[in-house]
Structure formats: structure tokens, C-alpha cells
């Protein structure tokens, strides 16, 4: 999981966020992060991985109840990381299905996520999954640079699951 986290940030976010932040990510630090994250994970949070035929993790997601209220949305996709070599093969779609299934099992009806505003590839994927740009933006300071994220939302997890099962 840590390797996917670091590798995906190196390939996905290079040029989108300060390189100094990307350079400080290490598999060792991310291993400690994910170990702590999985140990503290509550009953409502879900973490799912996708593996290749050799059993190696090639993608992961984490989701649960929304962390900060945003309109009608009650579920949130916290993170989705996918190796570049696994993109375009349906892995992300499968991880989305796991998220929607988990959130629905929790009794949640909708979902949102935050994505870098200047990441057209990810935004295109979310739009292809039926997500709507909610017109909401938040800005973070990342190593001295202002980085903007926009919210995407799915008002019905039921409809999202129907779309994914087609």
C-alpha cells in the first residue's frame, strides 16, 4: 500500500504540487502512516486494495462518512491511489464499486470527494464515473504553494452502483 501511495504521487502529482513535497514521501514513512491508519480505522471507514495476478497491490481506496459537511452528501471517498501502469484497465472502476458498496452498506446515500483542480486526468475519470463538479473549492498550502481542490459528488450511491454494474 505504501509503495502504491508513493509511486502514484510521484507519477500523478509531479508538476501539480511542489516537487519538494513529493520528494519527501518515502515508502518507509507511508508504511508507518498506513499501519497507523489501519489500526485506528473505525467500523465505518473502509480501505480496499486492488491486486494484480501476482498478488501485488496496484491500487487502493479509503472511504467512510463525510468528514466535513458539504450539502446533501453523507459519504466521502477520502483517497484513491492507482499505479500508472494499472490505469485505464478498469481497476479504478472496481475500486469505485467497492467504495459505493461499502458506503451503501453503512446506510449512506451519497458520496463526494476532493480532487486537485489542475488534475484534468482525475477530473475526467470522476466525470466518466458520473460525478458532478459541485462548484466548491478549497485551498491548501503545500510546501509554500497554494493548491486548489474541487469537490465532485454523486447524489445517489444506488445510481452509481447501477452505472458501475452495467
Whichever domain contains 150, its CATH number is: 3.40.630.30
- Contact 60/36 with Cβ under 8 angstroms? no
Q: How many domains does the chain have?
A: 1
Under the banding of pLDDT at 50, 70 and 90, the label for residue 43 is: confident
Q: How many residues does the chain have?
A: 166
pLDDT tier for residue 40 given thresholds of 50, 70 and 90: confident
Q: How far apart are CA 151 and CA 103, in angstroms?
A: 18
Residue 87 has pLDDT above 70, yes or no: yes
Query: Would 121 be classed as within a structural domain?
Result: yes
Kindly state whether residue 76 falls inside one of the protein's structural domains. yes
The domain of 84 spans: 42-164
Distance (Å, rounded) from C-alpha 158 to C-alpha 27? Answer: 36
Tell me the per-residue pLDDT of 99-123, one tens digit each, with 9 for 90 and over. Answer: 999 999 999 999 999 999 999 999 9
pLDDT band at 33 (very low <50, low <70, confident <90, very high): very high
- Answer yes or no: is 1 within a domain: no
- 139, part of any domain: yes
In a domain, 97, yes or no: yes
Q: pLDDT over 70 for what percent of the chain?
A: 99
Amino acid at each position: 500500500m505504501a509503495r502504491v501511495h508513493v509511486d502514484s504521487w510521484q507519477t500523478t502529482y509531479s508538476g501539480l504540487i511542489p516537487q519538494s513535497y513529493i520528494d519527501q514521501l518515502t515508502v518507509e514513512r507511508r508504511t508507518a502512516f498506513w499501519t497507523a491508519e489501519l489500526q485506528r480505522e473505525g467500523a465505518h471507514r473502509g480501505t480496499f486494495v486492488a491486486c494484480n495476478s501476482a498478488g501485488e497491490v496496484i491500487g487502493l481506496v479509503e472511504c467512510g462518512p463525510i468528514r466535513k459537511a458539504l450539502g446533501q452528501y453523507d459519504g466521502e471517498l477520502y483517497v484513491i491511489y492507482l499505479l500508472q501502469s494499472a490505469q485505464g484497465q478498469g481497476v479504478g472502476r472496481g475500486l469505485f464499486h467497492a467504495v459505493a458498496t461499502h458506503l451503501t452498506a453503512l446506510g449512506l446515500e451519497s458520496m463526494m470527494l476532493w480532487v486537485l483542480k489542475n488534475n484534468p486526468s482525475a477530473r475526467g475519470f470522476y466525470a466518466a464515473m458520473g460525478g458532478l463538479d459541485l462548484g466548491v473549492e478549497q485551498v491548501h498550502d503545500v510546501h509554500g504553494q497554494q493548491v486548489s481542490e474541487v469537490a465532485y459528488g454523486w447524489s445517489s450511491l444506488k445510481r452509481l452502483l447501477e452505472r458501475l454494474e452495467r
